[in-house]
Amino acid sequence: MRNLVNLTLPELTAWMQAELGEPVFRAAQVWQWIWQKMARDFEVMSNVSKTCRVRLAESACIVWPQIVSTEQSRDGTTKFLLLLDDGALIESVLIPSDDRKGKRRWTQCLSSQVGCAMGCTFCATGQMGFERNMTMGEMLGQVLVARDWLDDTRPDRPLLRNLVFMGMGEPLLNMRELLRALTSLNDGKGLNFSPRRLTVSTCGIEKGLSVLGQNGLAYLAVSLHAPNQRLRERIMPKAARWPLDKLITTLKSYPLKTRERITFEYLLLGDVNDSLEHARELAHLVGDVKGKLNLIVYNQTTGSPYAASDTERILAFEQYLWSRHITVVLRKSKGQDINAACGQLKADRRSQAAKFSRRSCSHFIK
Ligand code: SF4
């Protein structure tokens, strides 16, 4: 059985023509049912002929990831543990915010791989190792699950406003499926997310960055977390294989739209990367890049090798960057009471005896 959630519109069109002899417009109708009306049963597709619906049901299915558990924080942050077809577990997080009129809107943090090969030392997912890449259907299935949970059925006024690929995995190491997912998200007859509502977060993968830049399908966030190569090698050993100066040089010529800026993520780890000297190095590093900086406050958790920064150090760090004309946003972790950093829920499931409580790069802590 072919899971239609895993086909782009051109693929669905080609498949329906070849397998069912259906015209192009029929695929567009089915596509709209799957992505906008969130149908999971061909029977409800009322503008599709009965014969076609029967044949679809014989040869295809519409399968979303299954919710294993849902945890909701006091601040509204909601975390899903999801089961994929082959039994793999991934996480996805919904983060609330209120718009100018006080209406609640949501950002979803999406996973792109089962586990992660990058091994960042502050990240629970990184400690699990890599299992496999996720498919386009699995990435976008997270969006369908969230929209269903939010009862978000009005494409003209969506509650789910932004999607960030900052969950489990390094998205640029799953480039093929990521591009299929972004293309499908951009489709006006599908989920209809414009590139400015999509962000891909990476710790810096040379080849992937150039492909993403050429496509312009999403905004870019880069997880720095260290202002110099030596420290980066210590806390993000695999990411640091691409030297920091080369990463920054590449970012200086990264293609950006008129109002677009690169977001740098910097997690403040107590007495590791949070001194004024580090702030000076950081200002020097990113000062010439068209970007803004998210400073993320780390909260120490059981079993973590890292500690939180003192409030005075955080404020001094932030102030120094402002004094060097760097746009800084200081962010506190959300969903702390539910361990909302990526990998934590899955880690808890995998090993009740040895719980991870480490923080991920920028994942779920915006
Ligand atoms: S922080 Fe991101 S890139 Fe690093 S190990 Fe975790 S998931 Fe992978």
pLDDT per residue as tens digits for the range 234-288: 999 999 999 999 999 999 999 999 999 999 999 999 999 999 999 999 999 999 9
- Residue length, the chain? 366
Beta bridge partners of 114: 132
CA distance 38 to 190: 10
Cα 118 to ligand 1 centre (Å) = 6
pLDDT band, very low/low/confident/very high, at 85 (cuts 50, 70, 90): very high
The DSSP output letter for 65 is P
Q: Which atom of ligand 1 is nearest to the CA of 125?
A: 6
* Residue 83, phi then psi, degrees to nearest 5: -105, 125
| Residue-level pLDDT at 343 | 66
pTM above 0.85, yes or no: yes
Long-range contacts from 307-316, C-beta under 8 angstroms, 24+ separation:
307/269, 307/270, 307/271, 308/270, 309/268, 309/269, 309/270, 309/271, 309/274, 310/270, 313/268, 313/270, 313/274, 313/275, 314/268, 314/274, 316/276, 316/279
* Residue 110, phi then psi, degrees to nearest 5: -105, 145
| Residue-level pLDDT at 345 | 63
Strands 113-115 vs 104-109: parallel, antiparallel or unpaired: unpaired
Q: What are 99's two structure tokens?
A: 């718009």
Kindly list the distances between the CA atom of residue 90 and the CA atoms of 7, 141, 172, 350, 359, in Å, as whole numbers in the listed order.
21, 11, 18, 12, 16
Tell me how far apart the terminal alpha carbons of the chain are, to the nearest angstrom: 39
The DSSP output letter for 205 is -
Cα 228 to ligand 1 centre (Å) = 19
CA distance 325 to 68: 46
pLDDT at 356 over 50: no
pLDDT per residue as tens digits for the range 87-115: 999 999 999 998 888 889 999 999 999 99
pLDDT, averaged across the chain: 91
The string of DSSP letters for 4-59 reads GGG--HHHHHHHHHHHH---HHHHHHHHHHHHTS----GGG-TTS-HHHHHHHHHH
Cα 209 to ligand 1 centre (Å) = 16
Numbers of helices and strands, H then E, in the chain: 12, 14
pLDDT band, very low/low/confident/very high, at 171 (cuts 50, 70, 90): very high
Residue 29: CB within 6 Å of ligand 1? no
Tokens 């601040």, located at residue: 75
pLDDT band, very low/low/confident/very high, at 124 (cuts 50, 70, 90): confident
pLDDT at 209 over 50: yes
From 90, 113, 116, the mutation candidate for ligand 1 (largest count of ligand atoms within 8 A of CB) is 116
Q: Domains, the chain, ranges and CATH?
A: 2-61 (1.10.150.530), 66-350 (3.20.20.70)
pLDDT per residue as tens digits for the range 305-354: 899 999 999 999 999 999 999 999 998 767 767 666 666 666 666 654 33
pLDDT at 218 over 80: yes
From 92, 110, 120, the mutation candidate for ligand 1 (largest count of ligand atoms within 8 A of CB) is 120
| Residue-level pLDDT at 100 | 83
CA distance 247 to 278: 18
Q: Which residue's alpha carbon is at the smallest distance from atom 5 of ligand 1?
A: 126
| Residue-level pLDDT at 363 | 44
| Residue-level pLDDT at 348 | 67
Contact indicator for 163, 197 with CB cutoff of 8 Å:
yes
